[in-house]
Amino acid sequence: MSQSIDFEAFRNEWLEEIIQGNPSTVELGNRFSRKLIAHWLDVDESSDDIVYCDGAGDGGIDVAYLNRSQSIVDEGTEEGDTWYLVQSKYGKAFTGLATLLIEAQKIIDTLDGKRNNLSSLAQDLLERLLNFREQASERDKLVIVFATQEPLNEQEKRVLDDIRAFGANRLGEIFDVEAISIATIHQRQPIPKKHVIRINIPLNAPDAKGDKLLVGAVKLIELYKFMKEYRDQTSDLDQLYEKNVRRFLGTRRKVNKAIKDTLEQEPENFGLFNNGVTIVVNNFDKANRGFDLVEPYVVNGCQTTKTIWNVLKSKLESGGTGSNSKLKEWKEKLDKGVVLVKIVKVGSDGQDLLTLITRYTNSQNAVSEKDFIALTQDFQTWQEQIKDKYNLFLEIQRGGWDSQKGLQKQNPTNHQFKNWANAFDLLKVYGAGWLGKAGIAFGTSQAFLPKGSVFKEMNDQIGVDDLYAAYLLQKKANEKYEFGQKHRQTRRFTRFMFYMVVIELLKAVMIDAGIKQTNTNVTKSFLKLFNSEGIFNSEGNLACNELLETAVQVTDEYMTEGIEESVYKEPECKSGDVKGYIRGEKLGEKDYSPKLFELLAIHKRTMKRSTGGQHSPFSLVLEAIKLE
């Protein structure tokens, strides 16, 4: 898409659903924090891994999210867990430096056990956080996140450094602090932006000749200064990795132990052992001591830069007015250390070249493939195809729909979408329903990313029809039946299981219809129920509703304690840990879920019963999927 949306228009569109319905001040803050953290971390707002505890007695924590280490990584690579503790300030609730200092003090006191009168939600969360601190390794992080409507100014950014030092002194080296705003999400959008001041960061590097390529050795300390300057200018170090990863590999991703050991023990030899870093830029200009890089992005060497950032920040930014002979010796070695850097000029319109560089330079690395979704040709192709066939906007980067809505308002003569869906969410719907991977879908995202096990299984067969069918199923589950909603006890974390149950019931009808139970045929049958052209005739609606209502009954009964065929009676549901059981990779397999299959069998028989001379639900579905 060649058109762009400026920040003001994006912000207004992004806030529209937050201010709808004249919510109270408290509800405004709740909505704002939920949406911002979900888009920043690229998770569903209703994810069960997000803890909402804002309100009286929250201890300064509005939202908490545990980012678990799930990546499949190379041997010698370690990855830790990170708790993000969000203090959200919407609109006038943020008053500048005082807000940052007061709220930081409040959260740190809470984490240090110095605050009483916590709410039950905050107390439960604190217990988890205290346990986390007790067993945290050097790979784990505890990060306070300030979420504001507007970006912090320069003075406020400097206060974050003071909070980092203060928090580390109280809570240890696992502590860090970040700041995000609506601008953070806007800057990550893959749509080119007009009237944006280009980021121009100096890098002290040796002079190397070449119209489009610079290659040379850069001192480790200079690369660290470059990253620090980037964070200070943008307030979002994540953005440095935007052309490679949509989520910063810095505090949220893997740490290569060998790189870390070299930096800590013999930094002077770092350039001998490391493959280096590739940075793409719109342009570069010779400066006094190096080069000014215009719109720089790291596309290879994410582990390298991440580890340099963490180790040097820990060593150089910890404060203290005394002297340490070991640290002094290490700094002398550091001054001799270099990293090989390749700087490639791709220009402002070099997307094809950029994509190739990103792909090829990362081909040997264990970079999480979710980072490539917005660059992956499959997703870009699906985005165009589903637009043309179903008039659906496929969001391949969270926040993309807000950008699209803003563009539609700016350009009313352009294509106007009314409906949208997130591409990654649809992959999980399809995997849970069509492939029966409901437990994996609930428990992890890794398998559904490009190169993940479930993605590989589905990728050869999935297309826009499948994505659209997944969208229709998700829409019904969310809007009509409220799956994923925390106030619906039996539906809080059963949406993926619901998708699986719907398809299992549909497959039972397909057998009687003489339709082979391939995933392609499941999609065709499902779309017939919904009528893929969008014309919902009464027969199709009735058949569809009967199928979905039956699936709802199965799901609700399965989650009801006291019923013989409930989850509580499953032999593998240990000690009543229902949530843990439903996260299980084997959920839906007969030996793991015998009670679920018993319940499905009962309802398959019940579907064939008719009352009052009416067609049975089974026969309605049967006739609908047989229609040509």
Secondary structure of 454-494 in HEC code, one letter for each residue: HHHHHHCCCCHHHHHHHHHHHHHHHHCCCCCCCCCHHHCCC
User: Of 347, 367, 387, which residue is a domain's last?
Assistant: 367
Q: Which domain holds residue 329?
A: 197-367
- Mutual orientation of helices 400-410 and 7-19 as an angle, nearest 10°? 110
pLDDT for position 223: 94
Can you read off the two tokens belonging to residue 154? 């320069």
pLDDT for position 470: 96
Q: Structure pTM?
A: 0.67
| Judgement on whether residues 180 and 258 belong to the same structural domain of the protein | no
| Judgement on whether residues 248 and 359 belong to the same structural domain of the protein | yes
| Judgement on whether residues 213 and 100 belong to the same structural domain of the protein | no
| Residues 82 and 141: beta-carbon distance below 8 Å | yes
Q: Kindly report the number of other CB atoms within 10 A of residue 534's CB atom.
A: 8
* 273 lies in some domain: yes
| Judgement on whether residues 347 and 489 belong to the same structural domain of the protein | no
| Judgement on whether residues 50 and 150 belong to the same structural domain of the protein | yes
Low-confidence ranges of the chain (pLDDT < 70): 1-4, 46, 48, 70-79, 190-198, 206-210, 242-256, 348-377, 451, 486-487, 489, 532-540, 628
| Judgement on whether residues 494 and 608 belong to the same structural domain of the protein | yes
Distance CA 354, CA 243 (A): 8
| Judgement on whether residues 168 and 216 belong to the same structural domain of the protein | no
Query: By CB neighbour count within 10 A (0-12 exposed, 13-18 middle, 19+ buried), where does 624 fall?
Result: buried
| Judgement on whether residues 483 and 590 belong to the same structural domain of the protein | yes
User: Of 367, 386, 414, which residue is a domain's last?
Assistant: 367
| Judgement on whether residues 190 and 204 belong to the same structural domain of the protein | no
* 412 lies in some domain: no
Q: How many domains does the chain have?
A: 3
* 316 lies in some domain: yes
| Judgement on whether residues 154 and 271 belong to the same structural domain of the protein | no
* 393 lies in some domain: no
Distance CA 330, CA 217 (A): 20
Q: Is 36 helix (H, G, I), strand (E, B) or coil?
A: helix
| Judgement on whether residues 270 and 141 belong to the same structural domain of the protein | no
Distance CA 164, CA 174 (A): 10
DSSP category for residue 576: G
| Judgement on whether residues 97 and 57 belong to the same structural domain of the protein | yes
pLDDT for position 253: 42
* 5 lies in some domain: yes
Distance CA 298, CA 277 (A): 7
* 108 lies in some domain: yes
Q: Is 393 helix (H, G, I), strand (E, B) or coil?
A: strand
* 21 lies in some domain: yes
Closest CA to 266 of 336, 317, 324: 336
* 506 lies in some domain: yes
User: Of 333, 367, 401, which residue is a domain's last?
Assistant: 367
Radius of gyration from C-alpha coordinates of the chain: 26
pLDDT for position 376: 60
